[in-house]
Structure 1
């Protein structure tokens, strides 16, 4: 089961009333947004909540995952010992994350815990969440001094572990934005502060989570943010997944940026469509051809077939390229190749741009082996596609197309596409398709 939702939240102890003692009202918008996320988490009923925190145990070259079965914490360091937490860890999910990390020789695990107590970067999100929902286990993960790309990679590992354990999981990425937004703030002002916050919020508004790993790390450092690695780790868990995003609030009245955002995976269709979409988005953004991801079914990895990838935008065709017979080693590779061609090489349309990606509808049609027909009575434009061939010329039309209601229409269009006339000697084939959308 994929991660059902993720949230970016800040963690100033000030917003806990027992700590703020009235001062929390200064950031009431943030508090209201936090309570909204708690309501949404309660509605989702996750079995496990993952919290990535900048204030958990942190190493320069290693990601620490909190070990053990239970953890405790209080706000005693902020003069509010009466606010306390007793949490149960999801040991099975932690063990699976560790197993995959070892398998990949990735530097993450439960070694080296210095202080088992919950940190405030974890407790502030727990404080608001547990006002609405408590029936969950916890996984707590610290950051590292490694590059953003490594944090993104860990997110991918965690997503795989969630899938393997079939957990219903919500991820809370704890972290403040820039600490240098106002001269009167505790860290003063730097021009990079507002630049970072604006860029981060814009990225969240667009749901472009993959861009988080590409932020300039010098900009992040000069802006004195503390949450970007947490956000990037979370974004890796949505690698290749389109998300529906919402920014609830962004405040900088204390000189520190507090942002509250949510991310829900969109329905990307079945795995055939998801593979085509992932291919298109990666190629358009990065000009890279993806490899078939792990976890695909045998239908994609162990069979060969012709396939068409069709792209529509607001109901209008935006690109369609396919193969009548298999040309690649697997159906997955066939879809990847044709998705790239449909998005960039259809001569009827200009290549798709990054700005269009969120508005595309994608279909994948997998073809059966064509069968030669002896009579037009064997054709049905709703059930069968046709291939009309004359010598080296060939025209194809997929079945069940809007406005194509007769065999004659179907043949006329297929012949026109192939540059074939009725004066030519014709051979007609029919085929069926399994349509994925």
Structure 2
């Protein structure tokens, strides 16, 4: 049975009539500056969540940038603060579908399930039932993006590093957009609001969540975590619009502030300059363990960003150890240090590495993109979607799970053999199949170097 989350604030925060709602959003978007031709699509938006007559014109400055992304963005991770239910952590929705006057939006249950594996995330439908901080964004997303899947998250009292960890786990690739919901100061007079919000804008532009006080933004928890994640990943930020209810549709004695921002991922391939550093760090970690010295500390800011990697050791062309992380949950530099040591000394398939084996040992580091769940009707459908030499694959069913890096295609170039061996690795029969079989694919950038 499909579980629906019905619209809770239609007719209060925005029109309940579909035609009127569409007209109002179209008017807001038409008044906002359009995206420049050829401009990149934002990875993240920060936008307000008040009633449309108050904050709609400001939110439209963010959503107008998505018109060129229609058909390209298929998942939206939407996080906002809890206004009505007090709790700790981050609440997912148990619904399969959210509804608004503009129609239904499917929930990405695979991503929700993945996030619920994190210790700070749990299902709490009462946090979503009457919460407006997420719902008011959905009609804007339906209008600009068309068909997409939603990952709705309500943030309670949560450390911002935990918020950042959740966003990192849901980060995805260009198919994923992150939207963070917040209003700014509340119920100050017009001039006080402008001064307070100006300080908040400065903090957000500097990606400095420490400078955002409890009275400056009701969504300071999700915004703080988002800024932390963005700063680690090297995103740039642009302020799009800052106004208050005294500028849009209300009196000026008690106003609420609103702002809209777009955040963009950096251009170019960061592996061009960090690849050699990853290899040096992995070698240094292994040698430090052999010499009974402390593990090295990554000193490049690029290695402080979250990342997932596998470290592979080979000797004489044969595997000598391979350990890694399928999901980015800590800084990439820390992931390399830990996985290099484990590949050398804690892979259960091999004895611990000895100093005598360093020559001729080869080492490679594979940095993974976030895994994306695949949709398929049968095993043949799955096999037909696999791209030899490109896709890494994670399979799971019945509590069993296994992963192959894209480099495994060198030994198993046939998709059927590739999948059969991966099933065997997971402890499944090679002809195993069930309605619950899941698969996610990812890519990896591999850097290699010969040991000294």
Q: TM-score, normalised by structure 1?
A: 0.50
TM-score for the superposition, normalised by structure 2? 0.48
Larger Rg: 1
